[in-house]
Structure 1
Amino acid sequence: MSRKSLFATTLLAASFIGWCGASAQPVTGLYIGAVGGANFLQREQVRVAVPGSSGPRYGSSGFETGYVGIGSVGYGFGNGLRLEAEGNYRRNDYGRGNAALATNGRESKYGAMGNVLFDLDVGSPYVYPYIGAGAGYAWVDQRAGFSVPGYNGRIDGREGNFAYQAIAGLSFPIPPVVGLSLVAEYRYYAVAGDRTYAAGVSGVAAAGQYKTRSDYNHSLMLGLHYAFNVVPPPMAAAPATAPVPAAEAARTYLVFFDWDRADLTPRARQVVAEAARATTRTQVTRIEVNGYTDASGTAGYNRGLSVRRADAVANELVRNGVPRAAIGTQGFGETNPLVPTAAGVREPQNRRVQIILR
């Protein structure tokens, strides 16, 4: 491989590792989101009371698959925790009832929720799972006709109740647009308590009652989230070249690590191998291997972690034929960050080892 090809390959590998490492980050600051998809409203138990009749009629109503749309705005604290406010809308048409109750029409509901979510760092640059829960208030709008033995009627009203939900999703960063993520999400959404609607019944002057039980929904959705405070990752430092016959300047290679890990990824091993091969093509008098961490741990722990990372890279250089005596290792902990951050922030660009060929 020529020196120009070696330079290009090393730069590409180091830059790609840095790009991927910065793609999936816990949200810090303001973000917005929108999702939509299918809503599955579960069968509801119904009680119909007709004035002057022998007693209430009981039945149940089923629903067709409907749709749901949700818009949200939230704030991330940089450690996985997010707080979020949302507005939502769901609609389902009535489907099959049972022998005691026939219905046609639709049920729609809209609500406002406050959510608490947590992003789970699974060590992948491509995906962030997240879970959460929320509570708020929902209004359920009924526009439907119904039939019970001996009577036909219609409901046209709105009732509100306490609502709650559970949330699980996957966030996939879109690297060409920094801060933008594709999300796939499931929500269990419930409107608690009974709701009673005034019902007009044919042939009966007084209003009847149409009473439903709690409202349970399963929602499957896709959408987008956009975080405003994501800093584009810096490019990895490029190896410097010098004209012949002057001595070449120091060359630097960057190896990136997953959070709280000191083991090498396949891409990291490729960068170390390129650095080892470079030592055979140029005069090298000293090899410095310097380890660093982000600011998410204590200072003492981070110093130890940076040393372990430096040792892991040094051992990989030896495995690729570099004499151990030519390598000097140091751990600097969370000092000298590539990207300055507040304490406790997991910044992927700062979890690195520098290989310097002098």
Structure 2
Amino acid sequence: MATDVGGVGVGSIGWGFGNGLRLEVEGNVRHNRVRQISGFAAGPTASGGDQYSYGGMVNALFDMDIGLNWLYPYFGLGAGVADTYLDRVHSYGVPSGVRVSTNGWSTNFAYQGIFGLSFPLAAVPGLSLTAEYRFYGVLDAPGFHAQDNVAVQAPGGIAHQGRGNFNVSSDYNHSLLLGVRYAFDTAPPAPPLAQVAPTPAVTPARTYLVFFDWDRADLTDRARQIVADAAQASTRVQSTRIEVQGNADRSGTPAYNQGLSLRRAQTVAAELVRDGVPRSAIVIQAFGDTQPLVPTAAGVREPQNRRVAIILR
């Protein structure tokens, strides 16, 4: 059975795990006009009527971080159940004289593949515009029981009239969708830290920033060089202590980010000790995602917030 281009509507609600993975429950509806029915001995025939599909799906999706705060590609798979309804679907003029007319339901296992692009809106934290493609289909060919007549016209009258079954050989759907997505747990950007008036005659602190890859606590070659520079500077300035402050961006949960920032600070402190700084002079602090350099919405991966600050006081 072939159909014309139609409409589709999709709504879903789900849960994000802070590492790019999302699970969601979806409801969808599709409508197409029937253009052609195949499968008769005489070949395809022009047809009419409407096909409606109502589906419930469970989807698993993954958001990819490609280093652009304004663009996040994502992809996923879904599975569920689809109810397909044929409304006054009919076929006339088959050369053999067969006339088919049916209203009927069919329930089948449904599946889909999803690829999309998400565009976060900086003006509304948590809100994103989306554009995506979906391939949607059913595992088995839908079958319908005719509610009207299946008849063969013969010279002089109707040779047979009764009820029968109507089968569809395939049911696939290619969809292009535009939409919006909102993260309900998004918090407004953290307020700026209170400014403390500088104390006269106190030497300003010297700060070194060490940056990390997403969800990592190990040092790059560039990071080791920065730590070495800080260790050498600590021997040339009058400092009473060295503060090592760990931070994380807001792409994970607050609890996870707190632990990650602590591991980053411990890694930098250990590198300072290897570079000759006494361990007793180092104070380790972990701030999680509460002190960002760049305020962002929850779930945003901001490279400048994945850092450890080495402060010579």
Could you say which TM-score interval applies, normalised by the shorter chain? Answer: 0.5 to 0.7
In structure 2, list runs of 5 or more residues that go unmatched: 152-157, 221-236, 249-255, 273-281, 292-298
Amino acid at match of 1:117: L
Q: TM-score, normalised by structure 2?
A: 0.65
SS of residue in 2 equivalent to 1:121: coil
Partner of 1:185 in structure 2? 132
Q: Distance in 1 between matches of 2:5 and 2:47?
A: 16
For residue 307 of structure 1, what is the aligned residue in structure 2?
Answer: 268
Would you say how many aligned residue pairs link Structure 1 and Structure 2?
263
Residues 220/100 of structure 1: CA separation in 2 closer, same or farther (3 Å cut): closer
Deviation of 1:356 after TM superposition, in Å, equals 6.2
1:81 corresponds to which of 13, 21, 37: 21
**CA distances 1:172-209 after superposition (whole Å, capped 9, x unpaired):** 21111111111112211112213133152354431133
TM-superposed deviation, 1:70: 0.5
SS of 1:95 mapped into structure 2:
strand
Q: Is the 8 A contact 1:292 1:306 kept in 2?
A: no
Q: In the alignment, is the contact (CA less than 8 A) between 2:244 and 2:284 conserved in 1?
A: yes
Q: CA deviation at 1:160?
A: 0.9
In structure 1, how many angstroms separate the alpha carbons of the residues matched to 2:257 and 2:311?
A: 26
The CA deviation at 1:64 is: 1.2
Q: Kindly provide the amino acid, as one letter, of the partner of residue 74 in structure 2.
A: Y
Question: Mapping of 1:184-263 within 5 angstroms?
Answer: 184-194=131-141, 195-198=143-146, 199-202=148-151, 203=158, 204-234=160-190, 259=214, 260=216
Give per-residue Cα distances to partners, 1:90-128, cap 9 Å, x unaligned: 111123557532211221100111122222233332222
The equivalent position to 1:142 in structure 2, one of 72, 86, 109, is: 86
| Structure 1 gap ranges (5+) | 1-60, 264-283, 312-329
Looking at structure 1, the residues matched to 163 and 134 of structure 2 have their Cα atoms a distance apart, in angstroms, of 36
How far apart in 2 are the matches of 1:97 and 1:118?
38
Deviations 1:237-294 (A, max 9, x none): 5987779x9879769898976524978xxxxxxxxxxxxxxxxxxxx988x8956343
Equivalent residue for 1:108?
52
CA contact (8 A) 1:192 1:214 kept: no
> What aligned pairs does 1:167-178 form with structure 2 within 5 A after superposition?
167-178=114-125
The CA deviation at 1:85 is: 0.8
- Secondary structure of the structure 2 residue equivalent to 1:129: strand
The alpha carbon displacement at 1:230 in A equals: 1.4
Letter in 1 for 2:8: V
1:22 alignment counterpart: none
CA distance in structure 1 between the partners assigned to 2:90 and 2:283 by the alignment:
74
Partner Cα distance (2:22, 2:257) in 1: 17
Q: How far apart are the structure 2 equivalents of 1:221 and 1:347? A: 26
State the match for 1:336 in structure 2: 287
Matched, 1:120 2:64: yes
Percent identity between the two aligned chains: 42
Partner-residue secondary structure (3-state), 1:233: coil
Distance 1:96 1:70 in 2: 26
Note if contact 1:339-1:347 (Cα within 8 Å) is conserved in structure 2. Answer: no
- The residue that corresponds to 2:253 in the other structure is none
Quick one: structure 1 residues 338 and 178, their matched pair in 2 at CA, closer, same or farther if it must change by over 3 Å?
Answer: same
CA contact (8 A) 1:237 1:254 kept: no
Q: Are 2:117 and 1:166 equivalent residues in the alignment?
A: no
Aligned residue identity for 1:171: S
Q: Conserved in 1, the CA contact under 8 Å of 2:116 and 2:131?
A: yes
CA distance in 2, matches of 1:357, 1:238: 20
In structure 2, how many angstroms separate the alpha carbons of the residues matched to 1:90 and 1:217? 9
2-side partners of 1:126 and 1:97: how far apart? 45
Tell me how far apart the structure 2 counterparts of residues 229 and 296 of structure 1 sit (CA, whole Å). Answer: 16
* Mapped partners of 2:257, 2:202: distance in 1: 40
1:235 & 1:229 partners in 2: Cα distance?
A: 17
- What amino acid sits opposite 1:303 in the alignment? R
2:246/2:265 contact within 8 Å kept? no
Q: 1:324 maps to what in 2?
A: none
2:114/2:135 contact within 8 Å kept = yes
Q: Which has the higher contact order (CA 8 A, sep 6+)?
A: 1
**Structure 1 stretch displaced more, 188-197 or 202-211:** 202-211
* Equivalent residues of 1:289, 1:353 under 8 A apart: no
User: What SS is found at the alignment partner of 1:337?
Assistant: coil
Contact 2:265 2:308 in 1 (8 A): no
